[in-house]
Amino acid sequence: MKRSAKLLVMTLVCVMIAFSCFANSDSSLPVPVPQEEKIDQIGCIIESRFYRLQIEAEKALRALGAKEEMIEELSKGVALASVATDIPASLLVVIIKEESSFNPKARNGNCRGLMQTPYFTGYVDVDILCGARILKTKLGETNGNLREALAMYKGGRNPVARRLADKTLKTFAWVKTKIGEV
């Protein structure tokens, strides 16, 4: 078969697949979905993802010994930050444990709160989101290198920060095994 014929066949197959994916039982043409319905579908997907991440966070919090009375509030904040930044919920829980031992009033120099950021608000969900966004920024600066991003989050690209990052990654791997994510 000539190259142009192969290309034509592939194009037709793609068009047929696209029509079959979007067609309803009454028509062979794509049916547009009303905007409100699209928004509802997206909302359901996000809500489902939030719920799964909240459960993951609850398991990680219990595995790392968080107080039972704090788990609901922390897991909601972690799930929100995880949805917003695509950082695994259990990794955020590990960082919170290491940075503040789950104490929302923890303080170390200019850094405060659960994730020890300079942008303390006193609201658990906002403070976790702030820390997660800082880590997300560091991931971007390191081209997705989690070890380097964690080192930068913990103080920079130096041997001490890298050891702390390695400890975080080791604990993260342990938590994933403990809660059944591996």
Domains along the chain with CATH numbers: 50-179 (1.10.530.10)
DSSP 39: H
Return averaged pLDDT per consecutive 10 residues of the chain, 182 residues in all. Answer: 47 42 44 59 71 95 96 96 95 97 93 92 93 96 96 93 96 94 54
Q: Give CA–CA dist 100/106, Å, rounded.
A: 6
Q: 82-100 burial by CB neighbour count: b if 16+ within 10 A, else e?
A: bbebebbbbbbbbbbbbbb
pTM over 0.85: no
